[in-house]
A and B are shown apart, each in its own frame.
Chain A
Amino acid sequence: MSQERVPWWKRLRKGVETNTEQKLETPDGVWHKCNGCKKVYLTTQLEENLYTCPHCNYHERVDAEAYFSILFDEEDYNELFRELTPVDFLEFTDSKPYSKRITETEDKTGLRESMRVASGKTGGYRLTVAAMDFRYIGGSMGSVMGEKIARGIDHAIKNKTAFMIISRSGGARMQESAFSLMQMAKTSAKLTQLAEAKLPYISLMTNPTTGGVTASFAMLGDFNIAEPGALIGFAGPRVIEETTRKKLPEGFQTSEFQLENGFLDFIIDRKELKSKIGQLLGLMQG
Chain B
Amino acid sequence: MTYLDFEKPIEELQKQIDHVRNGKHLIKPKVSAEELEIRLRETQNDIYSRLSTWQRIQVSRHPERPYTLAYIEKMTTNFIELFGDRSFRDDKAIVGGFAELNGETVMIIGHQKGINTKMRQYRNFGMPNPEGYRKALRLMKLAEKFNKPIITLIDTPGAYPGEEAEQRGQGEAIARNLFEMVTLKVPVLCIVIGEGASGGALGIGIGDRLMMLENTWYSVISPESCSSILWRSWDFKEKAANALKPTPQDLLQLGIIDGIIPEPPGGAHANPDEAASNLKAAIIANLTELKKLSAEERITKRIDRYSHIGIYQTEQA
Contact mask for chain A residues 167-206; partner B; CB cutoff 8 A; 1 contact, 0 none: 0000011101111111111101111110000000000000
Interface residue? A152 (CB, 8 A): no
Interface residue ranges of B116-167 to A (CB < 8 Å) = 159-163, 165-167
Quick one: closest A residue to B305, CB to CB?
A189
Inter-subunit contact B162/A212 (CB<8 Å): no
A174 touching B309, Cβ below 8 Å: no
Stretch of B241-249, B269-277, B279-287 on the interface side: B241-249
Q: Is A193 touching B246 in the complex (CB atoms < 8 A)?
A: no
Given the known inter-chain contacts A182-B310, A185-B206, A248-B163, please indicate yes or no for A234 contacting B174, CB distance below 8 A: yes
Pick from B168, B230, B240, B311: contact of A261, CB under 8 Å: B168
A235 touches B166 (CB 8 A): yes
Smallest CB separation, A254 vs chain B (Å): 11
* Residue in A closest to B167 when the chains form the complex, CB atoms: A261
The residue that B311 contacts in the complex, of A87, A94, A262, with Cβ under 8 A, is A87
B 163-201 contacts with A by CB, 8 A: 163, 165-172, 174-176, 178-179, 182-183, 198-199
Q: Is A11 interfacial (CB 8 A cutoff)? A: no
In the bound complex, how far is the Cα of B243 from the Cα of A189, in angstroms? 27
Q: How far is it, in angstroms, between the C-alpha of A176 and the C-alpha of B221 when the chains are bound? A: 11
Residues of chain A within 8 A of B205, CB atoms compared:
185
Does B314 touch A at the CB level, under 8 Å?
A: yes
Contact with B along A135-147 (1 / 0, CB 8 A): 0000000011011
Q: Which residue of B lies closest to A261 (CB)?
A: B167
| Chain-B contact segment, one of A18-26, A124-132, A237-245, A268-276 | A237-245
Does the CB pair B169–A263 fall under 8 Å?
Answer: yes
State how many angstroms separate the Cβ of A135 from the closest Cβ of chain B.
18
Chain A residues with Cβ under 8 A from B162's Cβ? 235, 240, 243-244
Interface residues contributed by chain A, number (CB under 8 Å): 62
Check B229 for interface membership: any CB of A closer than 8 A: yes
Which of A112, A189, A220, A235 meets B307, CB within 8 Å? Answer: A189
Are A189 and B202 touching (Cβ within 8 A)?
A: no
- On whether the beta carbons of B309 and A184 are closer than 8 Å, the reply is no
A233 on interface, CB distance cutoff 8 Å: yes
Chain A residues, Cβ within 8 Å of B240:
94
Q: A246 on the interface (CB 8 Å rule)?
A: yes
Check if B230 sits within 8 Å of A174, measured CB to CB. yes
Per the bound structure, the CA–CA distance linking A205 and B205 in Å amounts to 25
- The reply on B26 being an interface residue by CB < 8 A is no
Q: Quote the shortest CB–CB distance from B179 to chain A (angstroms).
A: 5
B27 within 8 A of A: no
Taking the complex as formed, is A31 at the interface, i.e. its CB lies under 8 A from any CB of chain B?
no
Known: A191-B179, A193-B303. A181 touches B202 (CB 8 A): yes
Residue A84 interfacial (CB < 8 Å)? yes
A-contact 0/1 string along B293-312, CB 8 Å cutoff: 00000000011001101111
User: Could you list which residues of chain A lie within 8 angstroms of chain B, going by C-beta atoms?
Assistant: 82-87, 89-90, 92-95, 112, 143-144, 146-147, 150, 172-174, 176-186, 188-193, 211-212, 214-220, 233-235, 239-240, 243-244, 246, 248, 252-253, 257, 261-263
* Given pairs A219-B172, A246-B163, 17 additional interface contacts (CB within 8 A): A89-B311, A95-B231, A112-B317, A172-B220, A172-B221, A179-B311, A189-B306, A192-B182, A211-B199, A214-B171, A215-B171, A215-B174, A216-B174, A216-B175, A233-B170, A235-B159, A239-B225
Write 12 A-B pairs (CB below 8 A) sorted by A numbering: A174-B226, A174-B229, A177-B219, A180-B220, A188-B178, A188-B179, A189-B206, A189-B306, A215-B199, A218-B171, A252-B166, A263-B172
